[in-house]
Chain A
Amino acid sequence: MKVLVALKRVVDPYVKIRVRADGSGVETSNVKMGTNPFDEIAIEEAVRLKEQGLVSSTTVVAIGHVASLENLRAALALGIDTALFVPCDEMLQPLAVARILQQLVARESAQLVIMGKQAIDDDNNQTGQMLAALLSWPQCTFASEVKIVEEGASVEVTREIDGGFEVILASLPAVITTDLRLNTPRYASLPNIMRAKQKPLATVTLEELAVNIQTGFKVLSIAAPKARKAGVMVDSVDDLLDKLKNEAKVIG
């Protein structure tokens, strides 16, 4: 069974982003970038399945700016077998990404796709579900535990839901999206970083895939949120309770 993992290059989660004054977007030049944290978890899960002998090969794919090659190399250093890069400098919407991934799933004959539940830049939380729909596959979103069962015919997934958690059984092929507690990604060792340089990394163009990347979604403008007005420091519990009662009037 072949696994496809999706990877998006995003602004590092700990960077305080800045909105451009002209409303055209968020400043991303000279900003620390990295692999979307949920995709790091997807990569780790794929590598573990391979190590356990439950899958035959793992491929990682990134669609986007050429700088994503750096992230693909990092994924190879973590144990992914092969990488695919789809160059595209346009901002893609989840539906377009899902269409591209659909084509790649077919080309690679992947039986399992593991991807992040959300990209932490646009916070869409859509692509995995859209891909599953396009493929008419089951979807196991917000996964916190993944078990391949029934001799590789199905996957049992624990999902984090608003009320607690649930366990579903889905037949393979399927799409899984990762939640934070699925695993803790490893670090790449130096020998593996060196070895990764020899691993196959191919480029596939949008023309080759012949995918329509136009969607009916337009971003009109990006603005900074209103800042909260500055608060005050109180110096005792009594002071705090007095403020909450008599100033903010939020407790009786």
Chain B
Amino acid sequence: MTVLIIAEHDNQSLKPSTLAVIAAAEQLALPIEVLVAGYQCQAVVEKVRSLKAVHCVIVADHEAYRDQLSENLALLLQFLSPGYSHILAAASTFGKDLLPRLAGLLQVSMASDIVEIIDPNTFIRPIYAGNALATVCLQDAVRLITVRSSAFNVALSVKEELAERRVCDAVYVLEKTKLIQRQETKSARPELGQAKVVISGGRGLQNKENFALIEQLADKLNAAVGASRAAVDAGFVPNDYQVGQTGKIVAPDLYIAIGISGAIQHLAGMKDSRVIVAINKDAEAPIFQIADYGLVGDLFKIIPELLTKLP
């Protein structure tokens, strides 16, 4: 029984979510191998090889894998899959796109977005926007799983001696899809999924200009910025800021929700944060039901006051 983890990267650096997947896989107590498929992605390979938990890195370096398109990667993984008992990826948009496609090719079921490992066949995953937890069992020969990174955020140790490196020359191309453009939001702030502090704004901010208040507060606290769906739909911020059932799931030490009512779908994305603060002018807003600290008032008065009182 061996675990295969799919590294997520941009050919230059490894995405932190992959570290969480490796941390989760360690709980399976099985040998861990990691696939780095990409193009000229040596830096990623070396990084993965330095991780203590990793036994072997499989390198598939070819232009066909440069853009990380699922059509090609799924075929490569289908080829590699015999011999593995588990294939894991992060429950990121990358993993969510790729792993079910692989499951289709292999004609096996899979478990999405697991938050707990009970034993090598049994996992816990949230359903109904996290309002219920399902304990599920995978009975196929190979168990396909995407992992909720925020549930397995632990530091991994590195080692002196690099892990074994195995080259895979197989090239698979399904010539039906082409990447035209990829536009990634650039920000000097910490990544939403990794930040210790997240400040999110909602419809209460009223417009894009006012949303700058959230950003100023984030800069004071070295925080990442998030948003409700309403704020994204209204164009205050880009789509990748959305926290919730259908956006990003975060669990920072401190989550501050400002001008957000606390709909079920928003709570799904942040209710496992360690400390939750809610600021809202409506004392009846549902967000207060899950907040550790609630402050009722006008955000246009409260944020400026916070800005002056924070160091």
Contact = CB atoms under 8 A, between A and B. Distances in A.
Given A118-B246, A165-B239, A170 B109 contact: no
Secondary structure of the A side of the interface?
A: mixed
Size class of the contact patch on chain B = 35 or more
Nearest to B136: A219
Contact of B293 (A137, A231, A252): A231
A186 interface: no
Contact of B104 (A11, A130, A171, A220): A130
B72 to A, nearest CB: 11
B100 A130 contact: yes
Given A98-B104, A144-B239, A217 B109 contact: yes
Contact of A248 (B103, B130, B254): B254
Interface string B136-170: 11111000000000000000000000000000000
B229 A139 contact: no
A219 B92 contact: no
Secondary structure of the B side of the interface?
A: mixed
A133 interface: yes
Given A165-B183, A240-B277, A133 B101 contact: yes
B288 A139 contact: no
B188 interface: no
Nearest to B126: A123
A119 B4 CA distance: 28
Given A95-B103, A216-B108, A250 B274 contact: yes
A2 B58 CA distance: 42
B257 interface: no
Interface in A214-238: 215-225, 228, 231-238
Contacts of B184: 163-164
Contacts of B263: 14
Contacts of B139: 216-218
B109 to A, nearest CB: 4
Interface stretch (B32-40, B42-50, B171-179, B208-216): B171-179
B284 interface: no
A179 B71 CA distance: 20
B308 to A, nearest CB: 9
B271 interface: yes
Nearest to B238: A164
B107 A95 contact: yes
Contacts of B177: 138-140, 168-171
Contacts of A126: 100, 103, 110, 112
B178 A93 contact: no
Interface in A109-152: 117-118, 120-134, 136-142, 144
Contact of B239 (A160, A225, A241, A244): A160
Interface stretch (B18-26, B80-88, B294-302): B294-302
Interface residues of A, number: 82
Interface in B273-311: 274-277, 288, 290-296, 302, 305-306, 309-311
B135 interface: yes
A54 interface: no
B63 interface: no
A244 B254 contact: yes
Contact of B240 (A162, A170, A218, A233): A162
B2 to A, nearest CB: 19
Given A129-B70, A217-B109, A225 B103 contact: no
Contacts of A222: 127, 132-135
Contacts of A174: 176
A168 B70 CA distance: 12
B193 to A, nearest CB: 8
B248 to A, nearest CB: 7
B295 A234 contact: yes
Contacts of A220: 122, 135-137
A112 to B, nearest CB: 13
Given A165-B183, A250-B253, A219 B128 contact: no
Interface string A191-228: 00000000000000000000000011111111111001
Given A138-B176, A139-B71, A162-B193, 13 more contacts: A94-B109, A121-B127, A123-B112, A130-B100, A144-B239, A163-B240, A171-B177, A215-B109, A219-B136, A224-B132, A233-B295, A241-B309, A248-B292
Interface of B: 69-71, 74, 92-94, 96-105, 107-113, 122, 126-140, 174, 176-185, 193, 197, 221, 229, 232-233, 238-240, 245-246, 248, 253-254, 263-265, 271, 274-277, 288, 290-296, 302, 305-306, 309-311
